[in-house]
Amino acid sequence: MALGSPARAATPAPGDLLRLAAEAARAASDMLLAGLRTARTSVLTKSTVTDMVTEMDHASEALVREHLLGARPDDGFLGEETGLTVGSSGIRWVVDPLDGTTNYLYGFAGWNVSIAAEDDDGAVVGVVLDPFLDETFTATRGGGAHRDHAPIRCSDKSELATSLCATGFAYDPRRRAAQAAVLSRVIDQIRDIRRGGAAAVDLCSVACGRVDAYWERGLGPWDLAAGSLIAREAGATVAGDAELGFTLAAPPALFGVLRDLLAQAGAAEA
């Protein structure tokens, strides 16, 4: 993805970008955890009445943006809440400041802060911090994936029948119904299904083998940027809507058969 910078600064070290992203994610996580103990006075909706955004989404994004661009003011920034700011450094940050807002609003596990840095070739580093479990997933392109500094790998699953899969559903009720119909065609072919409610955490669950595979349609770049890199660096095969019509992350030996099953079930249209 070309970022369109006319004059590039020296390419930053991935480790430096990773440290900056991890610091920003931790600061946002601490603020969000503190916010769970106070009343949230503003709850709005995005695309539908079930697509909620709180003042904490905006506050978290503002904090992350200030932390990242305060250190690297020439970088670009793409945030779920504030959109795109074009930079000139050749690096763009892609941020979901509160992935899993509904879970957060209800005090339910399964929300996170997701931060990736991209260059013209895609994600360079990714950080997904899960505050409820106090787990930090990280990856650098070509450098592997880690959970709290320990290397992680996806499962080696190859059989559908023994595969634990995760998925997500759209906010629009009609799309949810269509996705449930897809699931009804898949559920008897796999071990079981999990629905966590936050794409980045689901991708990290694939990366560490907590689930064997994950699929969902219609995700945004902020949902995918960090988690997809982490899953890939952990050995999973990841393809997005542009290739399949839905996003799928799975071990290489499972990917093809699950892709075909989901395609036959209509996942690309749901």
pLDDT tens digits, 144-168? 999 999 999 999 999 999 999 999 9
Q: Quote the mean pLDDT of the chain.
A: 92
Q: Residue 207 pLDDT > 90, yes or no?
A: yes
The domain segmentation of the chain, as residue ranges, is: 14-151, 160-265
- The pLDDT of residue 267 is above 90: yes
**Cα 232 to the chain's mean position, in Å?**
12
Q: Which CATH architecture has domain 14-151?
A: 2-Layer Sandwich (3.30)
Cα angle value 252/253/255 (rounded, 5°): 60
CA dist., res. 247 & res. 264, Å (int): 15
- Residues near 248 by Cβ (< 8 Å), separated by ≥ 6? 213, 214, 215, 237, 238, 239, 255, 258, 259, 262
Per-residue pLDDT at 56: 87
Nearest to 236 by CA among 152, 129, 128, 127: 152
Residues 3-12 pLDDT 10s:
544 445 678 9
68 within 8 A of 27, measured Cβ to Cβ: no
Give the CATH number of domain 160-265; options: 3.40.190.80, 3.30.2130.10, 2.40.50.100, 3.90.850.10. 3.40.190.80
The arithmetic mean of pLDDT across residues 55-80, rounded, is 96
CA angle 183, 101, 21 (to 5 degrees): 105
